[in-house]
Amino acid sequence: MAKPIVFIGSSSEHRNLALYIQSAMQYDVAPVVWTQGTFEPSHFTLESLESALDKADFAILVCAPDDVTVSRNKEYSTVRDNVIFELGLFIGRLGRKRTFLVSPRGVDLHLPSDLSGLTPETFDPDELLNPEAALGPACTKIKAAIVKAGRLPRSDFSEAREGMAEERSLDRSDELQHTPQSTWSDEKFEFEFFIATMHENEKRVSEIEDAYRTSALNTSQEKLAEWDTRCEYARIISGKGGNLSLIRDKSEAFPMNAEIRKTLAQALQHYGDDLGALQEFIIAVDIANDAQIAANISKRGVEVAKKVKNSSALKTFKEKLISFPIKNHRDKSEIMEAFRILVEAAKLPEIHKALGELITAMKPDDIDARFASAHAYSEADQDGLSMLQYEAIPPEERSGMAWNNLGVSYDRLGLKSKAIGAFEIAASKGETIADGNLARKLTFGGFHIEARKRADSAILKPSPHESVCSIAAEIREQKEDEELRYSAARERALEQRKERTAIGEAALVQIGADIDGYWDTEFGQIQLISDEDGNYSASTHVTHQVKSIGFGILKPSRNMIERRNIRIALKRFGNALEGTITREAGDSPATLLGAIDLEHHLLLAISVDGQTISGIEFGYQEARVNWRRSTSLQITEQTQSET
């Protein structure tokens, strides 16, 4: 069966990203990058694009701010006009379900909000030193959608020429199906208006506007004002004019309308006025009366706040989101997505992963989310949790990259045979890095699968040597031992997931207990003190009884007392805490390791009644943390033995 043909477009500056995407997808589809024969010397660009459209079953467009455009003496970033044009052209011909966007995470492309139906697949630009890891999640999700949709039904070339009149008739019928209807949804109206604006089809623009005005959506002057501002914003970001003053006027006429405020903020951001945009986003989220609208505004506002380094704005968005009651599944999903962006901006990676567990539990079929979560765990050497996420992706939907990374998780957990099996599947899917991993593992041993095949083959021969039978038994024992270790690793990972899920739920708590005060810990009593930003700190010290380093008769070892200071720094999100614990060595170390300061990461959750704080300390191995609120003030030195 012929592979689906996928056109990959980008600006010249991002041609390398298009090539990486081509490399990641070439074994599943037939990808063609725009530089590879699309624009022939004697052809106009539009003609070449239309030719590409005639052949393509899908399109992937790499969008990222490329240009610095000057408007009203201000600079602002925009996506290249040719990429926006291709977007409209391909959506118009192939449809939204066959057109995909790939963009950097955390960058506002200034695309219209109606493109939310085309949610961009994102990548972390900081990870591009390893493009396979950076672009893997996006490519995996796109490939799954392509496989599900399949190729467009087409006749061969000669039949197409003979049946041209019939095809044109079908085209006209398809066009009639897209005649503006007053029954369209709000999102459909906005999307179609943007596409018509991009194509400079004034007749269709007028028809869409007329259809909206006669639709059931146009219930008041305020709703009409929302529509008018979205239309102006579409004109602005598509480079087809647009009137910022009109959007301002509508905002002044309806100052309590969060949607209009959000549109004004987006327009200001488009023109490079980040501070003005942030102010409007803050007003918009403050007056929002719906959790999903507030979450959408917050996600956009947080990116601006992060860009201008405004921590108080981040706190404002967080407090507003926490204040909304979660009424249904969709509310919770939107709020959690907004929280994840907030947590990422606050640089709380462990709470970010904990929220990821909640999101993948709510969206078990979201392969992109699972891949991203698995990769984050792998980067933090949390291999059991990484294994669980990769294994949750159905085997038939795992890309070569996912199989390879699952093999890496198995290998780190000491599951050699399983690692080799995963690497073999990855290699069969064209993932060349897996070939290297496979060769390395076979070199260092643990090749149960290959050994078993050879042993089974030998046993089937007449009068097999007794050593062959013993080898087969040995392999079976090793395999059984690995299965036991695999079960134990999964059991540990499931417990770790349970802990992180609980901490993710704690992060969603609206009103948490006050935890200022004294707490009993495994190293003594501490006092948690909060600052104006809601961060917590504590310090104490313990004394250790240690043996000095001896040098025989000249200097025998002896018991000494060493003091070690302990400092704790925590950030709070809901009822979740993340931070560090540092154990500082004393001034006169008595042991070789005495001079080393130890800083470990902490991920904690506050109980509902505010009486306990429990969670994880990340050291060489994960250690349980259990603190209880003190019933009495007893700051004393705790003496510990250390030999």
Least confident piece of the model among 14-18, 20-24, 637-641: 637-641
Find the CATH number of the domain harbouring 268: 1.25.40.10
Mean pLDDT of the chain: 78
Instruction: Using the 3D structure, point to which of 324, 347, 370 is the last residue of a domain.
Output: 347
Render 125-189 in DSSP notation, one character per residue. Answer: GGGTTSHHHHHHHHHHHHHHHHHHH-PPP---HHHHHHTHHHHHHHHHHHHHHTS--TT--HHHH
Strand locations in 264-400 (E): none
Helix axes 383-392, 400-412, angle to 10 degrees: 150
**Backbone φ and ψ of 135, nearest 5°:** -95, -10
Q: Are strands 30-33 and 58-62 parallel, antiparallel or unpaired?
A: unpaired
Render 6-28 in DSSP notation, one character per residue. Answer: EEEE--GGGHHHHHHHHHHHTTT
Same domain, residue pair 605 and 558:
yes
Same domain, residue pair 500 and 525:
no
CA–CA separation, 257 vs 600, rounded Å? 46
Amino acid at 433: I
Mean pLDDT on 215-229: 94
**Structure-block tokens of residue 323:** 């204040």
What percent of the chain is modeled with pLDDT above 70? 74
Name which residue leads in pLDDT, 147 or 304: 304
Find the CATH number of the domain harbouring 105: 3.40.50.10140
- Residue 110 CA, chain-centre distance (Å), reads 20
Predicted pLDDT at 511: 77
pLDDT, tens only, 389-421: 999 999 988 888 889 899 999 999 989 889 989
Amino acid at 110: H
Beta bridge partners of 78: 67
Same domain, residue pair 26 and 127:
yes
Same domain, residue pair 433 and 330:
no
Instruction: Using the 3D structure, point to which of 480, 504, 528 is the last residue of a domain.
Output: 504
Question: CB–CB of 70/270 below 8 Å?
Answer: no
Contacts of 426 (CB under 8 A, 6+ apart): 400, 401, 403, 404, 407, 433, 434, 437
Number of independent structural domains in the chain? 4
Contacts of 102 (CB under 8 A, 6+ apart): 17, 21, 60, 61, 62, 63, 120, 121, 122, 123, 135, 138, 142
Same domain, residue pair 334 and 395:
no
Predicted pLDDT at 111: 58
Predicted pLDDT at 54: 74
pLDDT, tens only, 234-292: 888 777 778 899 999 999 999 999 999 999 999 998 888 999 999 999 999 999 988 88
Contacts of 157 (CB under 8 A, 6+ apart): none
Domain annotation covers residue 433: yes
Question: CB–CB of 384/492 below 8 Å?
Answer: yes
**Structure-block tokens of residue 190:** 């906005």
Domain annotation covers residue 394: yes
Amino acid at 543: T
Same domain, residue pair 261 and 133:
no
pLDDT, tens only, 335-359: 888 998 899 888 899 999 999 999 8
Which domain, by its residues, includes 438? 383-504
Secondary element (H or E) of residue 314: helix 311-323
Same domain, residue pair 138 and 256:
no
Across the chain, which distance is largest between two alpha carbons, in Å?
Answer: 105
**Structure-block tokens of residue 512:** 């948490």
Find the CATH number of the domain harbouring 438: 1.25.40
* Structure-token match 């104490």, residue found: 540
**Structure-block tokens of residue 268:** 């200001």
Question: CB–CB of 428/409 below 8 Å?
Answer: no
Predicted pLDDT at 643: 37
- Among residues 103, 116, 132, which one has the least CA distance to residue 26? 132
Give the alpha-carbon dihedral of 599, 604, 606, 607, to 10 degrees. Answer: -130
Q: Is the pLDDT reported for residue 167 higher than 50?
A: no
- Among residues 385, 362, 363, which one has the least CA distance to residue 374? 385
Name which residue leads in pLDDT, 367 or 52: 367
Question: CB–CB of 284/261 below 8 Å?
Answer: yes
- Residue 317 CA, chain-centre distance (Å), reads 20
Render 423-488 in DSSP notation, one character per residue. Answer: HHHHHHTT-HHHHHHHHHHHHHS--HHHHHHHHHHHHTSSS--HHHHHHHHHHHHHHHHHHHHHHH
Q: Is the pLDDT reported for residue 639 higher than 50?
A: no
Ramachandran assignment for 50, one of left (phi > 0), alpha (psi -120 to 50 degrees), beta (any other): alpha
Same domain, residue pair 148 and 36:
yes
Three-state secondary structure call for residue 73: coil
Three-state secondary structure call for residue 65: strand
Domain annotation covers residue 178: no
CA–CA separation, 63 vs 83, rounded Å? 7
Three-state secondary structure call for residue 535: coil
Name which residue leads in pLDDT, 306 or 176: 306
CA–CA separation, 303 vs 103, rounded Å? 15
Give the alpha-carbon dihedral of 330, 335, 337, 342, to 10 degrees. Answer: 170
Q: Count Cβ neighbours within 10 Å for each residue of 441-465 and write b for 16 or more, e otherwise.
A: beeeebbbbebbeebeeeeeeeeee
Helix axes 15-25, 131-149, angle to 10 degrees: 60
Sign, CA dihedral 341-347-351-357, equals positive
Name which residue leads in pLDDT, 23 or 217: 217
CA–CA separation, 232 vs 431, rounded Å? 46
Q: How far is CA 639 from CA 297, 524, 544, in A?
A: 53, 10, 6
Domain annotation covers residue 396: yes
Question: CB–CB of 610/513 below 8 Å?
Answer: yes
pLDDT, tens only, 534-575: 899 998 887 766 665 555 555 555 666 767 789 999 999 989
Predicted pLDDT at 600: 93
Question: CB–CB of 122/104 below 8 Å?
Answer: yes
Domain annotation covers residue 173: no
Domain annotation covers residue 389: yes
Beta bridge partners of 58: 6
Instruction: Using the 3D structure, point to which of 154, 184, 205 is the last residue of a domain.
Output: 154
Same domain, residue pair 268 and 301:
yes
Q: How far is CA 605 from CA 488, 519, 559, 602, in A?
A: 26, 14, 39, 10
Q: What is the DSSP letter of 551?
A: B
**Structure-block tokens of residue 107:** 């960058």
Same domain, residue pair 493 and 396:
yes
Same domain, residue pair 4 and 150:
yes
Label residue 302 by pLDDT band (50, 70, 90).
very high
pLDDT, tens only, 510-541: 778 899 999 999 888 999 999 987 899 998 88
Strand locations in 265-412 (E): none
Domain annotation covers residue 191: no
- Among residues 509, 136, 596, which one has the least CA distance to residue 325? 509
Same domain, residue pair 337 and 245:
yes
Question: CB–CB of 209/231 below 8 Å?
Answer: yes
Domain annotation covers residue 126: yes
Three-state secondary structure call for residue 610: coil
**Backbone φ and ψ of 8, nearest 5°:** -115, 115
Three-state secondary structure call for residue 619: coil
